[in-house]
A and B are shown apart, each in its own frame.
Chain A
């Protein structure tokens, strides 16, 4: 047991080191309208930390392009193939989501004017990013412990040090402070730890294990559709607008179920995205990558799917029946990416959550869903 835990600790440390060291090669082009010299300046090459944020790169990018920028006040934003990039989404997640076939280097366009404020929340540089990060950390703390007090009660010095660690990719500095927040690791039979009342309940655990609150894992899902018959990812159509991506900010509640030795990533996704796991896919062995597990999971799958099927039938009746049916039948999960890794569906979910989460304690999951092309809907 002790030896096994030492091994686990070693692997976790290695995973954290790799996650924190992960970077996306970026080639930043200055938008044509912001060029005031001939010839136009060469693009700027840099590495964007996966767990970092685009606005934090603005100082070095601005230095590179400074001699050619137009006069006036800068309002910096980034764009990829016409899509303004949301600065509060980590760089690695944007890359995993928007580059179906990883583009190396990732070609981005930087603008210094014409901020699309109807699409993007304003960003005042580092302070806005820090606020966004702390806000996400508070939310994650609430999910995990039932309140945000550990984060709210941090001293200004600790908050500053934590943020500096995140900005500079300083894993050791981050661990020194974040361990005091007591936000992990996620365990199957965990109880909420912070509240003294919960502590009392915890003492009752041997008598009634079910009385404890289930562990909740902060998850942010980004669901993108690709052509159903897509074979090569390089043929995927680029994302034209954010409305075509489903963003789901919803924690996963860890509930141990009989017959399961562990909770798979697939099970977690089925819970969070029931619409995209049609009953056919889970029943046909050929389509399922978890065929070996089929005997064990079949009963649960049936019980899980039946209520959803009823709900879908109801919703079909309320809206256009054929359209909804076609939409449902045509969707299936093709690919799941976390920290740039295409993860198997049968991997233990809690391993993924504990080892591949971002510094704000969120697990960001990019899901590619195959969609049958019918009518292009401009009116949506």
Chain B
């Protein structure tokens, strides 16, 4: 009951986040995914060396992109790699995307360099939508700055997106729906198969 209530206002409980994250991991393995995309993994977080199965985050790491794909250039010299983390925000009660890119040699990409890798649709989305703007914030689990899409508008956005859905479906569909929206903003294509019920 509590779960249904919170989903209706566009938020997601921590328990539902954990459950749907693990469901997404399994679903991802079943559907037809672009060969360039690795698997999502669940990573438990540690407090002073004590692992917690209850808390953790979703990770998709090592996604590569050819920088300046249309140009004919040396392949190895222009590969960029991206890590995407989905972390639950207890403040906003929504998932939050953290990401960073690095060159094949390990050097971190700047925001301008990242934007060069984005398709025009993403750039348009980032420029226009009030729900997707990139800031640089400390990653909750790493004590280091990562790029992120600010979560303060997520619950309003998700409320609109999930309107009209049956209550029981909302919890299951929340994370794939959210991931599709934020994925578009950062150039991460989410296969349609993720939404179909098997």
Contacts and interface: CB of A to CB of B under 8 A. Distances in A.
12 contacts: A118-B108, A118-B145, A121-B137, A142-B92, A242-B143, A244-B48, A245-B143, A248-B47, A249-B140, A250-B90, A251-B91, A323-B49
Contacts of A311: 52-54
B114 interface: no
B145 A120 contact: yes
Contact of B90 (A122, A242, A251, A276): A251
Contacts of B54: 311
Given A122-B136, A142-B91, A315 B143 contact: no
Given A242-B143, A243-B143, A311-B54, A143 B48 contact: no
A139 B91 contact: yes
A46 to B, nearest CB: 27
Given A119-B144, A247-B140, A249-B140, A143 B91 contact: yes
Given A119-B144, A139-B91, A245-B143, A369 B48 contact: yes
Nearest to B155: A147
Interface in B71-102: 90-92
Nearest to A197: B9
B1 to A, nearest CB: 11
B30 interface: no
Contacts of A250: 90-91
A318 B53 contact: yes
B64 to A, nearest CB: 21
B143 A247 contact: yes
Interface residues of A, number: 45
B52 A315 contact: yes
A246 interface: yes
B140 A380 contact: no
Given A121-B138, A142-B91, A249-B91, A324 B51 contact: yes
Contacts of B136: 121-122
Interface in A240-275: 242-251, 273, 275
Interface in B100-114: 108
A146 B92 CA distance: 8
B55 to A, nearest CB: 10
A147 B47 CA distance: 29
Interface string A217-246: 010000101000000000000000011111
Given A118-B144, A120-B145, A318-B53, 5 more contacts: A138-B152, A242-B144, A315-B52, A331-B48, A380-B49
